[in-house]
Structure 1
């Protein structure tokens, strides 16, 4: 967001990009709640807001970093259009210069191959037991591995490796508090059990490789 900096004691001489950015953060939440149907899946997250260097100085600019997730290209394009519309409108409402919008990394939806996934899961269940291998359903994480699979014309099997101590996970599951009590990756409290997580992760790669190479 582009503004006009100045002294914090004289805001009337400035165009405050922090105020504009703050309005944008709140308004962006309406994309999912008011523009995307409940039956569709969408996520808009502002993960970064950088502005200013000192308490009594209004900066010239503010920078927001966003991530969005969807399961369809149509929803994705509607979200991107809404983001640009909201950001531009908030800038115009404040009399600010046009914002600079940059689209960074982007990956298509990651889709596992049905037959390849089932074959790999059978191998995993044989090695690890039926109760430790399951389909978690759709998740909103993103990966670029789908690009590799498409480029190589190879079936994709993307799996998630658990790293929480079984007793801790079971207790949270019974209490219905997994999302609250089990820190996710990128959390400052994310601390998977080193063992057997590391050995199981390596074993899973070896088992999948041997299954597909028939070694």
Structure 2
């Protein structure tokens, strides 16, 4: 029997038919939808494990661009690293255009002066993106996600909803509904932090 996984977004992904490679993540627990607090903790643990397993293979070239090196084929397939390389391509274009800079610790920052950067936009990471939302912004985000679940589309980089992760905008309605519910559940007075990896797995934390 495969190892049980108790976080609600994977349950939702399976429910809506999104094809996450089965070898990447174990099957959902039948109790998942009823254990949100534990789900959230386990999601963060699984996400941290995913990132830590791949980080040793992430390198910064002499030209300041991200690249994967010497990844075992088994890990490449298990963790959908083709998607990660597509994410690197997007970041590296920003480096080429002098819009992004990457330091030796793999921190990625926009160039130039940034106004309201903390809450104003999705932040880049080698593993994906995250963004802080104030309470008011989170309410607007929930409305966008519910609209996406109803069939509306948004332009990447303009709306709250889509960080520029390959394939994310094509997700099925149930995925966006689950994310809207997760943001609503964690949206306290200070808002939320939403993060998404190259593998299209979201997590949401209260601020």
- The structure that is strand-richer by fraction is 2
Task: Choose between structure 1 and 2 for higher RCO, CA contacts under 8 A separated by at least 6 residues.
Answer: 2
TM bin (shorter chain): under 0.3
